[in-house]
Chain A
Amino acid sequence: MAERTIPQDILKGFRVLVVDDEPDAARVCQLLLLRYSAEVRVAEDGAAGLQAAREYQPDFLLSDISMPEMSGYQLIMEMRKDRLLASIPAIAITAHAMPGNREKAIAAGFDDYLTKPLRPRIFIHDLLAFLRRFPHLAERFGSLD
């Protein structure tokens, strides 16, 4: 199948920040990204995520929306205000699946929006397709790309 053709090291050297207050959700993302050789930092809410983003300067961000302290909306808005973090590609990954949620996320500053639950095989596909929209990231893909 298609995912078997994705090289294990395709995300080698990529630094990813995963923000989710739900440990299992964060863990699933982390495991998947690690499987494709990315470096992953996990933060458990928006505030921690913002601090981590400043310290860690990730290549891209995967963030939940509903979180205590600081929501994903606030996080992305803060990041977009920060010159150093403003251009980091970001995907909202949320269990909010009501109409209008997508528009709200995009308006807040996310570049894309995915609804939980995610099937890992499809998610990695979608994620790579997303990263190809950013040439400076796509050119760093490992192996075949």
Chain B
Amino acid sequence: MLLLKRLYRRMNRLSHRLMLLFIVVTLVPMVSLGIANAVATARLINAEISSRQNEAMQLIAEKVEHLVGDAELHLHEAGLTWFKLELSSRDMSVFLETLASHIPAYATMWITDATGQEVVRLEDGDAVAAEFLQNRSEEESFFLAARGERYFSTVRVIDDEPRLTIALPLMVDGELVGTVAGQMSLLQSWNVVRSAVFGSNGYAMLVDRRGNLIVHRDDQIMASRPNMAIIPPVSAVAAGQNQAWTTIYQSPIGGEVLGSATLINGPDWILVLERSVSDAFSAVWDSTLRLGLAMLLALAVAILMSLFFARQITNPIIRLRNAANRIRYGELSLYIPDHNPTEIGELAHAFNSMTASLNERIREVNDKNQALMAATLKAEEASRLKDEFLAVMSHELRTPLHAIIGYTGIVLMDDNLDQQQVDMLERSEANSQRLLTLINDLLDISRLDAGKMRLLPAEIAIRRLAQQWYDQMQVLATDKGLTFELQIDDSVPELILSDENALTKIMTNLLSNAIKFTAKGRVDLSISRERDRIKFVVQDTGIGIPAAMHEVVFDRFRQVDSSTTRAYGGTGLGLAIVRSMCEAMQGSITLNSIPDQGSTFTVVLPVHLEILNNQDATSHG
């Protein structure tokens, strides 16, 4: 069972598994029925064979018993008649002669009186003269008969004739009057035994109670004097189980045989019938062989049929699998025949529906992809056009501005101008500068919006850079009479990783704003470290920003009120750009301010200190 299970598991073809199942399902009942049938048949045949052999044996036994019994009866009658009729010697001899001719079995016969003295004796049919009569009182035959028992001698061969001496008591009115005995010829009985034929090689024999072979048709076997006492039927019968006995055993004379034995009453012979097993059971073998052949044939048919049926079931599945593979490799227009009325057909139909909806989906996706691609191309084209437009606009605005600023600047270098002219030219220059700032701010905003602000973080010596900012702004602060101080905390590392241009833009923007909106007092730039970030604080004592405006100042084109635009200049884009840049750098900007007291802008930026510190550590190590 386990083996079958393992075999089943190892089969990776449905058709093979089905075949195995089919064979098991067909063969198991068939084989068990066949075996049961064979066993039953064999038993029946065995019983039949035994019974027939038994019958044959009984028949032979009866014949022999009959022959011996008849002879015994005749002997007894002759003896009794002798005493009852009290015949004269002459009459007697006539009687005996008549008797002898009637019972030819007895070549020799004698009658004794109650003392054992012969009263008459016949030898070869002739009466013996009175002076030759013997006294038999010492003989076993007389001894037993006188006691009222029947006497049977062992078989003796006299004149080439097997003879059995029988002695019987003669009773008249319950009183022993004498005995009668005769030597019975066994030729006739022997013939019965010798000529018994059954099966193709069955034979009969007689043995005595001690197992000595008495008669067998084969003289050679007779001459070898085998002892048959050991064979089971003989020993059983000899032990007194006086019944038909049939069994299989190893016979000393016939190999493996089916043998039977029964007792022949009177002479107490045991009749044995033996027949070789192969002969006895050839019918059983034949039927078993036929059954085996039939089963082999059935197996072959079962295999063929299971193959056929398994194919019937698996072929559509295999076709489906192949179709599924073809669909997998893109043959989406494949139609699978689905007229099979079973679940296979339903499966094929489901496959077809699936491919159809798959096709539909793919078409939809393709359509969407194309639309998307077109939209993307359009958007890219629009973006490219915008970039191009901005570049051209920038270039085209700068070119005339260059001329204006250039000419103005050169005229301003003239030492012969009066103060009013200088003022006007300087205002012209300042306005040109404002226009330039606006152009730059618009470009920055546009780039920030498109996410195209390219940040190139690099190692920055932050103290040197801060000093540059300071130097640049110091001039403006001094011009307005403000105190401007730079303070860098010791915790700030020498190198940070950031985009220098963006950082500079943020800080100069905040610092110029602080200076711009502070009339008196001070502006401070302090830089410190806050864990892995750097904090830049720009603090002023300027006009400040009302709380309500703290968010608004970071909006585009917004200043605290529109009048400041005129009073302080500026585009209103500065803080919007600063905040966008801080965000682009993954940092933040916050504002603290009290009107008329001042403002504090705090920028916190990640500057990847850990990378630099690790490099430091390794380079120092």
Q: 1/0 contact trace for B385-414 toward A, CB 8 Å?
A: 000000100111011111111110110110
Residues 433-446 of chain B, each 1 if its beta carbon lies under 8 Å from chain A, else 0: 10010001001000
Residue from A95, A99, A121, A123 within 8 A of B399 (CB atoms): A95
The reply to whether B406 and A25 contact each other, CB–CB distance below 8 Å, is yes
Given contacts A25-B399, A117-B436, A95 and B394 within 8 Å (CB-CB): yes
**Is residue B65 within 8 Å, beta carbon to beta carbon, of the partner chain?**
no
Per the bound structure, the CA–CA distance linking A123 and B412 in Å amounts to 14
> Is B454 among interface residues, defined by CB-CB distance under 8 A?
yes
List, in ascending order, chain B residues with CB within 8 A of A99's CB.
454
Proximity bits, A22-37, B CB within 8 Å = 1, else 0: 1011001101100100
Contact residues in B for A3 (Cβ distance below 8 Å):
413
Residues of A in contact (CB 8 Å), total 23
Contact status of A32 and B398, CB under 8 A, knowing A96-B391, A120-B413: no
Closest chain-A Cβ to B349's Cβ sits at a distance in Å of 62
A25, B443: Cβ atoms under 8 Å?
no
> A22-B399, A24-B403, A97-B443 known; A120 and B410 CB under 8 Å?
yes
Expressed in whole angstroms, the minimum distance between the Cβ of A101 and any Cβ of chain B is 9
Give Cα A69 to B396, complex, Å: 19
Q: Which residue of B lies closest to A64 (CB)?
A: B399
Q: How far is the CB of B431 from chain A (nearest CB, A)?
A: 13
Interface string of A112-138 (1 = CB under 8 A from B): 000111111101000000000000000
Contact of B405 among A66, A96, A118 (CB under 8 A): A118
Give the bracket for the number of chain B residues in contact with chain A.
20 to 34
A117-B404 in contact (CB<8A)? yes
Residue of B nearest to A96 (CB): B395
- Within 8 Å by CB of B406, from A96, A98, A115, A117, lies A117
If A117-B432, A121-B413 touch, does A25 touch B402 (CB 8 Å cutoff)? Answer: yes
Question: Nearest chain A CB to B501's CB is how many angstroms away?
Answer: 9
Q: Which residues of B contact A (CB under 8 A)?
A: 391, 394-396, 398-407, 409-410, 412-413, 429, 432-433, 436, 440, 443, 454
Encoded as 1 (CB less than 8 Å from any B CB) or 0, chain A from 5 to 41 comes to: 0000000000000000010110011011001000000
Q: Chain A contacts of B440 at CB under 8 A?
A: 97
Q: Are A117 and B401 in contact (CB under 8 A)?
A: yes
Given the known interface contacts A35-B410, A121-B409, the answer about A116 and B391 at a Cβ–Cβ threshold of 8 Å is: no
Least CB distance from A116 to B in Å reads 4
CB pair B394–A98 under 8 Å, yes or no, is: yes
Asked whether, in the complex, the Cβ of B402 is within 8 Å of the Cβ of A118, the reply is yes
Interface positions of A (Cβ within 8 A of B): 3, 22, 24-25, 28-29, 31-32, 35, 66, 95-99, 115-121, 123
Query: Is A66 a contact of B395 with CB atoms below 8 Å?
Result: yes
How many Å lie between the Cα of A25 and that of B407 in the bound state? 9
Give every chain B residue within 8 A of A120 (Cβ-Cβ): 405-406, 409-410, 412-413
CA distance in complex: A116, B432 (Å) = 12
CA distance A3 to B405 in the complex (A): 16
Q: Note all chain B residues with C-beta closer than 8 A to A31.
A: 406, 410
Give Cα distance in the complex from A24 to B400, angstroms. 8
Interface centre among B400, B404, B432, B440 (most CB of A within 10 A): B400
B409 near A116: Cβ-Cβ < 8 Å: no
A25–B443 alpha-carbon span in the complex (Å): 23
Chain B residue with the shortest CB-CB distance to A94: B395
Q: Are B432 and A32 in contact (CB under 8 A)?
A: no
Chain B residue at minimum C-beta to C-beta distance from A122 = B409
**In the bound complex, how far is the Cα of B100 from the Cα of A133, in angstroms?**
175
- Which A residues are in CB contact (< 8 Å) with B433? 119
Decide: B399 and A116 in contact? CB cutoff 8 A.
yes
Q: A116-B401, A121-B409 are in contact. List 19 more A-B contacts (CB 8 A).
A: A24-B403, A25-B399, A28-B402, A28-B410, A32-B409, A35-B413, A95-B395, A115-B398, A116-B398, A116-B399, A117-B401, A117-B402, A117-B403, A117-B405, A117-B436, A119-B429, A120-B405, A120-B412, A121-B413
Q: Which B residues touch A115, using CB under 8 A? A: 398
Q: Which residues of A contact B401 (CB under 8 A)?
A: 116-117
Please, how many angstroms separate the alpha-carbon atoms of A25 and B396 in the complex?
A: 13
Q: How far is the CA of A25 from the CA of B454 in the complex (A)?
A: 30
Q: How far is the CA of A71 from the CA of B432 in the complex (A)?
A: 28
| A116 and B402 contact, CB distance less than 8 A | yes
Most chain-B Cβ atoms within 10 A of its Cβ — which of A95, A99, A116, A117?
Answer: A117
In the bound complex, do residue A28 and residue B394 qualify as a contact, i.e. CB atoms below 8 Å apart? no
Asked if A25 meets B403 with Cβ closer than 8 Å, knowing A32-B410, A119-B409, the reply is yes
- Complex CA gap A121/B436 in Å reads 17
Ordered by A's residue number, 21 sampled pairs between the chains whose C-beta atoms are within 8 Å are A22-B402, A22-B403, A24-B402, A24-B407, A25-B399, A31-B406, A35-B410, A35-B413, A98-B443, A99-B454, A117-B403, A117-B404, A117-B405, A118-B402, A118-B405, A119-B409, A120-B406, A120-B409, A120-B410, A120-B413, A121-B413
